Each structure stands twice: as C-alpha cells, then as structure tokens.
Amino acid sequence: MASLRYLLLLSFCLILADSAVSQGSNPRQIADGIYSYQGPTGYISMFVVTGDGVIAVDPINTGHAEGLVAAIEATTNQPIRYLVHTHNHWDHSGGGKVFKDEGATVIAHVDAYNWMKANPHPDMALPDESWGGSEKHIVLGDKTLQLNHFGASHGHGMTIPVVAGERVGYIADLVAPNRLPFFFMPDFTVAELERTLGEILNLDMDRVVYTHNANSDPLAGGSRQDVADTLAYLQDLRAALAAEIASGTPPRLASDAVRLPKYEDWAMYDQWLALNAWKIWLEGHLGPF
Ligand SMILES: [Zn+2]
C-alpha cells in the first residue's frame, strides 16, 4: 500500500508539474511567424512559419504531434520542412514519425541522437539527421533558426533554438517560469545547468516559449528574465544549503531545513524545495552524475 500511495503522490506531482491549460487561442502567435502550441498533456511546442515551409520544435508524443501538425495546417498551407528535437528524453522525443509522414526532416543533436539510437521507445522514431558541436543554423525562407548546444545540463544534446533576429527562443526542461526545478532534478547536472543558464543569458533572445511553466497564461511564454530568476534560485539554494551545514546542521538533515522565502510563491515550493536541495548536496558529495 505504501508504494501505491507513493505512486499516487508521484502522479499527482507530475500532473501539477505540467503547465496549466491555457485559455485563449491555441496555437498562439508569439511574434511574426512564430507560434506556441499546447498539446493534450500540457506540454508546449513552438513552430516557425518561414515563407518557404515550417520548422517545428519538440513533438513530445504521437497525440501531441498530431495536434501540432493540425495546428500548423490550420495556420498556413506551407509544408512542414523540419522538426527539431530539444533533447533525448522519451517524454519530449516521442511522435517524430508523425512529422516524417508529413515529409519533414527530423533533426537532433548527435548526443541526443546516439542516446535515442541506444534506447528505443515504441513512440520514438530515430531522427533523419544529427548535428554536432555548439551551433547550427537552419536557414529557410525569411527566417534563420539558430540551434545552440552548451554541453551538459539536462539529458543529452540539449538544444536551445533561437529565431535569429526575432529574439524569440524555446527552452525545454532547463527553466520552468514561476515553478521550482522539477522534482529531484532527474538527469540534471546542477553545476552544469547553472553554467548553461549563464550561457543562455548571453544569447540574443528576449522572449521565450517554455515547454513547462506555471504562468497564468502558459502559451504566452515568458522572457529571458525567467532564465536569470532560475539561475538566481539555484545559486541562492546552494548558498542556503552551505550556510545550513556551516551552522552545524548535519548534511543529511540540512536539505530538509533550508528555507528560501523569496521563492515561496513559486509553484511546488513546499513539495520540491527539499528535493532540489538534496540533489545539490548529493552532487557535491558524489560528484556529477
Ligand atoms: Zn528532459
């Protein structure tokens, strides 16, 4: 029974973790030719209409991808030319076949591609192309989608796409505005996440479509300030944990003892603060994992 209760609690947390369902138009125009789309499980994708075809970002799963394709077709009669994966995780990388069937070229960073090849999932199709290094440009019509990769942070091959010139980007799991980082930060390297958030702040980007956020209108997206806020939260949590241990609290109790009132209005503050702190402590104790 204990494990059943734990599973129920976990599913409740996962549901809460997702963006609230947006009111208002879906898809939503964010800037000229740039749209956000929220699927049935709450995840939010982005697509860019370029004048010579459409580039979509993150298919999530087959149901989401089918809705995304329908939303694109309701917006423009231009063909879908590319689908970009942000990273390897199954909960983002499913549904690629829906885009292949539309004739799109599916692209992932090589680190994500290699993981996807080694870890098949019935809902995940292997991308058509991979790219390496830290930057790749997809030039199509009157738009350029700049794909950025800053090394380790979360999962493999984490890609931050930015529509160059429009100053609009897309961020998957690295930042969820007005919400604490997810759960115990699975598959995150927190020190590398902090470094990566610093790199993201150097991108030529003002507005951001976030896969997950706790804003009242999730489809409207957020801004680069949300990246700065998450970085500040992680730095504040790291400092509070160190101060708690320095004050004499045994490390195994320190994670439960830390408080950060500055962030108590963020979603999941009560549920995840100690879990976030545990991850930071463990990473400092065991090394990155
Ligand atoms: Zn992920």
CATH number at residue 151: 3.60.15.10
Domain holding 85, by residue range, is: 19-175+184-224
CA of 200 to the centre of ligand 1 (A): 17
Position 263 in a domain: no
- Express each pLDDT in 88-97 by its tens digit: 999 999 999 9
CA of 173 to the centre of ligand 1 (A): 5
Position 38 in a domain: yes
Position 272 in a domain: no
- Express each pLDDT in 173-201 by its tens digit: 999 999 999 999 999 999 999 999 999 99
Residue 29 pLDDT > 50: yes
Position 286 in a domain: no
CA of 155 to the centre of ligand 1 (A): 6
CA of 87 to the centre of ligand 1 (A): 7
Position 285 in a domain: no
Q: How much is the pLDDT for 200?
A: 98
Position 103 in a domain: yes
Q: How much is the pLDDT for 252?
A: 86
CA of 217 to the centre of ligand 1 (A): 22
Helix (H) or strand (E) holding 140: strand 135-140
Across 165-204, b (16+ Cβ under 10 Å) vs e yields ebebbbbbbbbbbbbbbbbebeebbbbbbbbbbebbeebe
Position 269 in a domain: no
- Express each pLDDT in 243-271 by its tens digit: 999 999 998 899 999 999 999 999 999 99
Q: How much is the pLDDT for 103?
A: 98
The torsion angles phi and psi of 154, rounded to 5 degrees, stand at -155, 130
Position 61 in a domain: yes
Extract the tokens encoding 6. Answer: 């734990």
CA of 24 to the centre of ligand 1 (A): 27
In the chain, the number of structural domains is 1
